[in-house]
Amino acid sequence: MIIQDSFKINTNKNFEIIDITSQINNLIAIENGIISIFSKHSTSAIVVNENEKGLLNDLEFMLDNLVLDKFSYQHNRIDNNARSHLKSFLLSSSESLPIKNRKLDLGTWQSVFFIELDGPRHNRTVTLTMVGE
């Protein structure tokens, strides 16, 4: 069985980390299988990690120090958000995760995050594709 669904996210800041674990669990429509969680935007990301405030601040700090403001990126001639795209390249636009007993089968300290890299934005779309039984 293959089931597809999606949901929208509105973001409030230029950089924002949103825990979407419970939203995904609420939309899971198979007992066991695999789910692809995909952001349809090239200035955002989907990642799995620990929902600890200091660590999430560290992620922002790391990305800002990897993709420095001081360079003149070519994409800025188009729409001035090269750094947002480049941070997205370093992360990922999707995760594939196991589903067990109609829930994400995550580790104790793992959450699924939508990362906004060029907000604030309305109607960011995350698509879910579930394959299983």
Please state the closest distance from residue 115 (CB atom) to Zn ion, in A: 16
How far is 53 from 60, CA to CA, in rounded Å?
11
Q: 52 vs 79, which CB is nearer to Zn ion? A: 79
Please state the closest distance from residue 85 (CB atom) to Zn ion, in A: 5
How far is 75 from 113, CA to CA, in rounded Å?
26
Compute φ and ψ for 102, nearest 5 degrees: 65, 25
Taking each helix axis as running N to C, give the angle between helix 53-66 and helix 82-90, from 0 to 180 degrees, rounded to the nearest 10. 120
> At which residue do the structure tokens 């001081």 appear?
70
Which one of 14, 21, 51, 81 is in contact with Zn ion (CB under 5 A)?
81
Please state the closest distance from residue 108 (CB atom) to Zn ion, in A: 37
Contacts (CB under 5 A) with Zn ion, residues 60-79 = 79
Contact residues toward Zn ion (CB under 5 A) are 79, 81
